[in-house]
Amino acid sequence: MDVAIRAARRHELRALQDIENVADEIFRRVGMPWVMSMTPADLDLLERARRVGQLWVAANAANRPIGFALLRTLDGLAWLHQLSVLPRHSGRGIGGALLERVCAKARQEGHDSVFLSTYLGVPWNAPFYIRRGFTVVPLARYSAAMRRERVHERQLGHPLWRRCIMRRGLGSCPIP
């Protein structure tokens, strides 16, 4: 993998939105075209995350972003808000490397877990995270923050019956 994981730079934020939009194109292949109508992470959110060290890019040999990961804190929980890699670079461990960076940062900040919300039954979503130590959080164990996140997702147009919240404990997460 000839890719470096590094902090995002301010001038790259619009490119990250483009990466998210292009990466989402793959949802058409599995009959989920509504994902394409959703807006990417907004510039204010990206800039706030960048300023506090919670936004990383995977940069190619020319130092251009080809993927990114965004961590945010949601009611005290470390939350992987977005992980996107350009499709032509998928399958090379880039998403996994970005994910490990997110987990290491969350652990460094004192969190014992990282949470995320994703689609079930899509090979590059829930199964990807399961292979990396995440487990599905049963609906009965959702915190108030998780329930609020689900309401927000429904407002964005996500069909909740296709989604799940996942958790990964950070006890075995390496710090780079």
Task: Indicate if the pLDDT at residue 10 is higher than 70.
Answer: yes
Mean pLDDT of 99-103: 96
Domains, the chain, with CATH or none:
4-169 (3.40.630.30)
Give the helix ranges, DSSP H, for 39-93.
43-51
CA separation, residue 15 to residues 9, 10, 19 (Å): 10, 10, 6
**pLDDT for the residue numbered 162:** 76
Question: Helices 43-51 and 13-24, interaxial angle, to 10°?
Answer: 120
**pLDDT for the residue numbered 176:** 44
DSSP string, 144-155: HHHHHHHHHHHH
Mean pLDDT of 42-54: 95
Model confidence at 154, in pLDDT bands (50, 70, 90)? Answer: confident
Structure pTM? 0.89
**∠ at Cα 13 (10, 16), nearest 5°?**
145
Task: Indicate if the pLDDT at residue 52 is higher than 70.
Answer: yes
